[in-house]
Structure 1
Amino acid sequence: MATPPTGHARAYRASDEALELSEFFAPQRTSAVELPDPEVFLRNLTRGVLEVFAGVREVDQLARWLTEDPFRKLVTRTNLATRARSARGVPAVRPVHQILSVHCSAPTDGVVEGTVIVQIPTRVRAVAARLEGMDGRWRATSLALL
């Protein structure tokens, strides 16, 4: 007959099970072969970011495409753009832009670093992003509008 586990062994086993559960529910890495073309995602993300800054799209609509850190930075920068538009009395207008080029590189499997060059009426801008495959889709873990 087996002896019941001691309190220490039971606690150790419970912490192992909790660790396994947290790993199970944490974002799961996805290989690039299981993901769609990152160029399409980069184009759509760029359009969304430009529309958010212009005030014609809610920033929450991009939440599913971003991890927490780039989302928070986007919210902050969007709030600043909204205040600036309000102070000048400028209404929100859908941006007119043309995507000139998309450049992608894959430093490792399931990771893409991309730059999208965009022509807006006043100048040329770039959107740089780092995409990582998580839970079967691309998510931006870093985002910068240059």
Structure 2
Amino acid sequence: MSTAPVAPHHDDEPTRGTPFTPIVVRSLADLPVPRATSPVGAPGSTGRRLRLVDDFGPVHTELSALPDPALWLRGVAVAVFEASTGARQVTQVMRFCSPEVYDSVVRRSGRAARRGRITRRPVRLRSVHACALPGHSSVVEACAVIDDHRRVRVLALRLEGLDGRWLVTACEMG
């Protein structure tokens, strides 16, 4: 009894009984571009988030689905300040910041290291104030007053609710 050799099956070959259409993507330009649909609350929309046609890009999250911004900011503001002054590893705040804010924190940290002004004493958070922007369902502007044992500093921050979490999208230090 002899058996005929069986050719190996490849994933790009169709299997019997099922139609198969290969999809070839040679570059990212071949992928579809996402388009935003109507925002939440517009006629014909349902749900709590701004929906996208495709699964690309961030999805805005309403304030009611996010933690209290003032409580969240109590820890993040101190971490961003310490990273900016070189007292904390900059990578520790990467997940809380947009790429632009993270780049500015890296630049400030480098300047502080060159000047030799890195303080190792823990800073003290004096107060945090947060205010939701009228007309925006996922944006909060906030400030944090921080005492670094040499002087009192203020951080002005813009928080946006994206993908079910807060993200610092703007930060100014004074």
**Alignment-derived partner of residue 32 in structure 2:** 18
Q: 1:130 aligned to 2:158?
A: yes
Distance 2:64 2:119 in 1: 38
Q: Name the aligned partner's letter for residue 100 of structure 1.
A: R
1:19 is paired with a residue whose SS is coil
Unpaired segments of 5 or more residues in structure 1? Answer: 1-14
Question: Which residue does the alignment assign to 2:74?
Answer: 43
What RMSD in Å do the two structures reach over aligned CA positions?
Answer: 2.3
Q: State the Cα distance separating 1:16 from its structure 2 match.
A: 10
- Matched with 1:102 is 128
Larger Rg: 2
Q: Is the 8 A contact 1:50 1:95 kept in 2?
A: no
Tell me, yes or no, if structure 1 residue 144 matches structure 2 residue 144: no
Normalising by the residue count of structure 1, what TM-score does the alignment of the two structures yield?
A: 0.77
What amino acid maps onto 1:104 in structure 2? A
Q: For structure 1, which segment, 70-79 or 40-49, has the greater mean C-alpha deviation from structure 2 after superposition?
A: 40-49
Find the residue that maps to 2:33 and give its secondary structure. Answer: helix
Change (3 A) 1:71 1:53: closer
> C-alpha separation between the residues in 2 aligned to 1:139 and 1:16?
30
Instruction: Answer yes or no: is 1:53 the counterpart of 2:81.
Output: no
User: Matches of 1:57 and 1:22 in 2, distance apart?
Assistant: 40
Q: How many equivalent residue pairs?
A: 127
Q: 1:80 to 1:22 in 2, by over 3 A?
A: farther
Aligned identity (percent) is 34
Relative to the length of structure 2, the TM-score reads 0.65
The alpha-carbon deviation at position 25 of structure 1 amounts to 2.1
Match of 2:113 in 1: 82
Q: What is the CA deviation profile of residues 24-67 of structure 1, one whole-angstrom value per residue up to 9, with x for unaligned ones?
A: 12011111111001112211122112322343321111111011
Larger fraction in strand: 1
Point out the structure with the larger helix share. Answer: 1
Which has the higher relative contact order, 1 or 2, with Cα contacts under 8 A spaced 6 or more apart? 1
Pair 23,129 (structure 1): closer, same or farther in 2 beyond 3 Å: farther
Residue 10 (structure 1) aligns with: none
Runs of 4+ in 1 over 4 A off after TM superposition: none
